[in-house]
Structure formats: C-alpha cells, structure tokens
Amino acid sequence: MPDVPSLNADSFYLIDFDSGRVLAEKNADKRVDPASITKLMTAYLVDKAVAVGDISLDEMVTISDKAWRMKGSKMFVEVGKEVSVGTLLKGLIIQSGNDATVALAEHIAGTESAFAGYMNHEAKLLGMANTQFKNASGWPAEGHYSTAKDIAILASAMIRDFPESYRYYKVREFTFNNIRQFNRNRLLWRDETVDGVKTGHTEAAGYCLVSSAKRDGMRLVAVLLGAKSNKGRTRHSQSLLNYGFRFYETHKLYAADEVLKTGRVWYGDQKQVSMGVAKDIYVTIPRGRYQSLKAAMDIEGEISAPIKSGQLLGTVTVELEGKQLANGDIVAIHAVNEGGLLDRVMDSIKLMFK
C-alpha cells in the first residue's frame, strides 16, 4: 500500500465507518484540546433526549444570561427570549454557536456543569477511553481533552444513531435573528461527497476538523487535530479522505437477515434450522483484492432442540492472505421447538448408528 499522507497536524485518524478498519493514523491516542468538536457530544445528548421523549424539538428554551454572554462563535440568541430546541440544535451544528450550546445544556441538565457529567458518562458508554469534558461548548478549560480516536468513535455514533439530525451537518448556511452565517466546514464547498461533520479552533487546539464522506456506498470518517491554519485543516482532511477512497474498498459480505446455511436439528419438531450472522459483516480491503478473500464457518457438530431464535450456533471468519479481517457469530434465524416422543426416540436411534 502507498504510504499514508504526511500531514502537518498534531494527530489524525481515518477509519471506514462500516467495518471500523483504521486506514491511517498519527498520535491517535494523544490527549488534546478538542475545541468546538466538543459540541458533537452535546448534540448527541440532545438527540438522545429527544429520542427517549425527555424533550421535543418543538419545545421552547428560555435563554439564560450565561448563555447570552458566551463569547466566541455565536448564534446571537437574546437573553430572556424563547427559542425552540430544534432551532438551537441547528445553531449549534451549523453556526457552532456557543450560546445555543449552553442554552441546550442548561435546558437538559439544569446547569452546564451538570450536563458535563452527562457528557462524561456517555463518553464511557461509547468507549471513549481518553476523553474528559468540562463544559458543553469546548471553551478552553483545564482538564478538558479528547483524542482523534475517541472523536472518531463519537462522530461514527452520531452518524449511526441519529441520521435525521446528522443531515444538518451538511447544511452550508443558517439565518437566525436576521443574521446569516455559514458553516465553517469548507469541505462542504469543495467535495460534494462530504456531508459533515464539525470544525473546532482555539489557540491551544489549533485548527481541527472532523469530516465524513460517502462515495459509491463507502463511508469514511476522518479526524484531523492541530493543523496550523483553516486552509491547512481543509486541505489535509481532503487528502485523508482521498487516500482512503483511492486505495481501499469496503464490501458488505453478510447481512444479518441473510440465510447462509441450514443445519440438521436433532430431537426437534423441525429437521432443519436456518442460520445467519448476528449482525452485518463488512470488510475494508486494498482495492482489487476482493477475489482473494477467504471465509470459513465453524458450526456445532450436533445441533439439538430446543433452539431459540438468535441462539449461537457457530462462527464465521474472513481472511486475506492469512490475516483475519473480520469475524462474527452465526445464530439461528428461527426457533425450533422440542419434538414429540416419537421424534426424539427416532433421532436417538439414528444418532446411535451415526
């Protein structure tokens, strides 16, 4: 494979969204200031609260003095006014409004500091092992940090779990209070396959960008932190995405609802059980190597009823040139009940001779 691009940034991380394969990385576990990329977690928790019914996009939020006074990038909400959750969420995503972000955090948790506790709890649930949040907006604070790898985990979760909200990350402009502002992700203008995700910048963090693009059914997520300029973060992120798309391809090998094999069932009211993978299996490989893939299934020697739907019956592994790329559980697609007395007796006799 060609060498990973040499990029003038503190750290970066490029993965395939479906397979999770890492295609390029540099200092992926280095703790850095994530700046406004922090807002991805705030947006994620807002979406989660909407999904479980704790809040709605239509309900109104009263803007506090603290939210109104936030410096940096702003949506320009006014203190004491009411703004809907949905509108504030757009201001957070498209305009990177610190004021909108704090208003949402206070609406959900009462205070921004309490909301930061929710953020850290969610980070642990997602597997973000090197992340600690001190606030909702990414405003510089001691002990506020994340990593390129952890941010890729968060961005992937956003795309996977809340696709309806994710569509706002590709919106190029948003007008609120008669003030028109543009999305800071310049890749949205350079590459039509890019549909997100989020920029960040502080003096300590440098210029940061999380980007995602989808070409011919293949989605990549790139995280670039600590670039030296706005143009640099855009150019380097484009280089990462181009590298991944040019030299790799992703294939969905097995779908969770696909019958891969049928197996003989003993002592059941049915003689066969359909088997498939528990979840979709994807692999990302160097371009042109699809025909070299090898898959192997390992199924239980004797499958006896009763069998529950989803019961583990074996495993499947996928290799390329002796290197394992993916594996998954093979499960029963449907249940098989225990057979009657005659069925069980006949199967016992057959097994004796077998």
Please tell me whether residue 229 adopts helix, strand or coil conformation: coil
Contacts of 213 (CB under 8 A, 6+ apart): 187, 191, 193, 194, 195, 219, 220, 241, 245
Q: Which residues partner with 275 through β-bridges? A: 261, 332
Q: Which residues partner with 161 through β-bridges? A: none
**36 catalytically annotated:** yes
CB atoms within 10 A of CB 124: 10
Q: Which of 39, 90, 134, 198 is catalytic?
A: 39
Question: What does residue 352 show for φ and ψ, rounded to 5 degrees?
Answer: -60, -45
Quote the distance between the C-alpha of residue 318 and its chain's center.
Answer: 23
Q: Which of 19, 36, 137, 212 is catalytic?
A: 36
Q: Which of 96, 137, 156, 239 is catalytic?
A: 96
Angle at 288 between CA 283 and CA 294, to 5 degrees: 50
Nearest Cα residue to 188 out of 172, 200, 210, 175: 172
Q: Which amino acid appears at position 112 of this protein?
A: E
**96 catalytically annotated:** yes
Helix axes 39-51, 148-161, angle to 10 degrees: 30
Please report, for the chain, how many H helices and E strands are present, in that order: 10, 17
Tally of residues, the chain:
354
Helix (H) or strand (E) holding 93: helix 85-95
Active site residues: 36, 39, 96
